[in-house]
Amino acid sequence: MPRYRVVFHIDEGTKSRCVMVLNNMRNLLAELGADAEVQLVANGEGVLMLLQKPSLCGEQVKSLMAQGVSFVTCAHSLQALGIDADTLLEGVKIVPSGVVELVRRQATGWAYIRP
């Protein structure tokens, strides 16, 4: 079992914020490697980074998925923004509420990072 469990949070849909959070995740994995379990929770406009097209950071997301990072998005945010689940990158999991997902992770000892 990984020694470190880290949940990253993004709620902004800008390229610069996407790049920042993914760079932070890559840096964490470079340092901790297999000792870390990492998840990103996207809600609000942060869900835009997980779209197939237009892709803000699709290739970087896929690369991190290949390293075991899980990507989760909020069903409420998708609905509010009129985004169909079929337009998400393959492998992105949808949860009913991104905020509840963050609370659950933190309640079970996950470190919370919001770059």
3-state secondary structure the chain: CCCEEEEEEECCCCHHHHHHHHHHHHHHHHHHHHHEEEEEEECHHHHHHHECCCCCCHHHHHHHHHCCCEEEEEHHHHHHHCCCHHHECCCCEEECCHHHHHHHHHHCCCEEECC
Give the right CATH number for 4-113 from 3.30.460.10, 3.40.1390.10, 3.40.1260.10, 1.10.760.10. 3.40.1260.10
pLDDT at 2: 79
For residue range 9-59, what is the model confidence (pLDDT) as tens digits? Answer: 999 999 999 999 999 999 999 999 999 999 999 999 999 999 998 888 999
pLDDT at 1: 75
pLDDT at 108: 97
For residue range 68-105, what is the model confidence (pLDDT) as tens digits? Answer: 999 999 999 999 999 999 999 999 999 999 999 999 99
Q: What is the pTM of this model?
A: 0.95
